[in-house]
Amino acid sequence: MTQVTNTVRFVLDGHIVEARGERRTTTVLDYLREQMHRTGTKEGCAEGDCGACVVMVGSLNDTATGVDYVAVNSCLQLLPTLDGKSVKTVESLQRADGTLHPVQQAMVSCHGSQCGFCTPGIVMSLVNLVQRNTTPDRQTINDTLSGNLCRCTGYKPIVDAAQQACQAGAALKIDDSADIALLKEIRRDTQPTLSLEGDIIVQPVVRTRKGNEFVSPATLAEVAHYLVEHPRATLLAGSTEIGLQVNKQFSRPEHIVYLGLVPELQRIDATAQGWRIGAAVSLERVLTLVAPVYPDFAEV
């Protein structure tokens, strides 16, 4: 049945958060700072360039036994895209005994922070890296930090800190065991039905009092159906453009269609002739796929 809601549900540090009645264009950064009081996450540029606002967003893996994380610029991500996911901020890293995460401690020991404004985003980028690679080489660390700007330290002590932190091994991993059950609990119906009366389909439809909507289709057919009804709808994928328009031009699209839950648009199929890459596949995934076969592509 059609699901229409004004509530976005996500997991933050072992607790389910229900964001009710927020604007569809509220950014993840603004919500975390203003409503959750997670002020460690900073707004530097509001353009996705400086990395001061980086947080980790997690989704259940394919077997629902763990959480896969990506580092995102929270200044560009719209709050409804968090529905059904988990979030880790720099405040999430402190251990139960009050000690710092190894990346944080290494930043202190190696003098990787001066004014400190960029430090939370740098830490989150590095923590995200070591969730999948606990022994990165210096070039991988440099590449990971390419989206984080620091105008104080000159980067060398930051990279040194990353290399020192990697000596911690298994201690680098975040304990997300409490989040897994909660992510299963808030996961919405994966096979929503189509509303032929026109109102809407899909996963959650976040609807405002004015009738404007944020729609999260689950299939390509649902995307097509909605676009027939609303041909001027704004398509949202990585939010690097739409988020910028929201922040800098104060754009408020009437109808937003989020493509992040459409499997057909997230697939990469290998054939004898090459790859068929879905339209919503991130450039990072494309690079990971193609670079081993065409090394020069990694430098593009």
Give me the chain's average pLDDT, please: 87
Are 239 and 77 a contacting pair, CB within 8 Å?
A: yes
3-state secondary structure 222-281: HHHHHHHHCCCCEEECCCCCHHHHHHHCCCCCCEEEECCCCHHHHCEEECCCCEEECCCC
pLDDT at site 180? 93
pLDDT at site 204? 52
Separation between Cα atoms, residue 211 and residue 221, nearest integer Å: 22
Give Cα separations from 74 to 32, 50, 53, 197 (angstroms). Answer: 9, 11, 6, 35
Interacting residues of 85 by C-beta distance below 8 A, sequence separation 6+: 10, 11, 57, 58, 59, 183
- Rg from Cα positions in the chain: 20
pLDDT at site 195? 33
pLDDT at site 169? 87
Beta strand spans in the chain (E): 4-5, 7-12, 15-20, 54-60, 67-73, 86-88, 205-207, 213-215, 234-236, 255-258, 268-270, 275-277
Triad 213, 214, 219: Cα angle to 5°: 120
E strand or H helix that includes residue 143: helix 138-144
Separation between Cα atoms, residue 295 and residue 172, nearest integer Å: 29
> Tens place of pLDDT for every residue, the chain, 300 residues?
346 677 889 999 999 999 887 888 899 999 999 999 999 999 999 999 999 999 999 999 988 889 999 999 999 999 999 999 999 999 999 888 889 999 999 999 999 998 999 999 999 999 999 999 999 999 999 999 999 999 888 899 999 999 999 999 888 999 888 899 999 998 865 433 333 333 333 445 555 555 678 888 888 988 998 899 899 999 999 899 999 999 999 988 888 999 998 999 999 998 888 889 999 998 888 888 888 888 887 666
Separation between Cα atoms, residue 291 and residue 300, nearest integer Å: 10
Are 186 and 84 a contacting pair, CB within 8 Å?
A: yes
pLDDT at site 251? 87
pTM above 0.75, yes or no: yes
Q: Strand 205-207 relative to strand 213-215: parallel, antiparallel, unpaired? A: antiparallel
Nearest to 236 by CA among 211, 262, 268, 260: 260
pLDDT at site 254? 85
Separation between Cα atoms, residue 114 and residue 271, nearest integer Å: 50
- Side chain identity at residue 61, one-letter code: N
Give Cα separations from 136 to 58, 100, 114, 126, 226 (angstroms). Answer: 21, 21, 24, 10, 44
Q: 150-165 pLDDT, tens per residue?
A: 988 889 999 999 999 9
pLDDT at site 41? 97
**Domains of the chain, first to last:** 4-93+176-186 (3.10.20.30), 102-172 (1.10.150.120), 267-299 (no CATH)
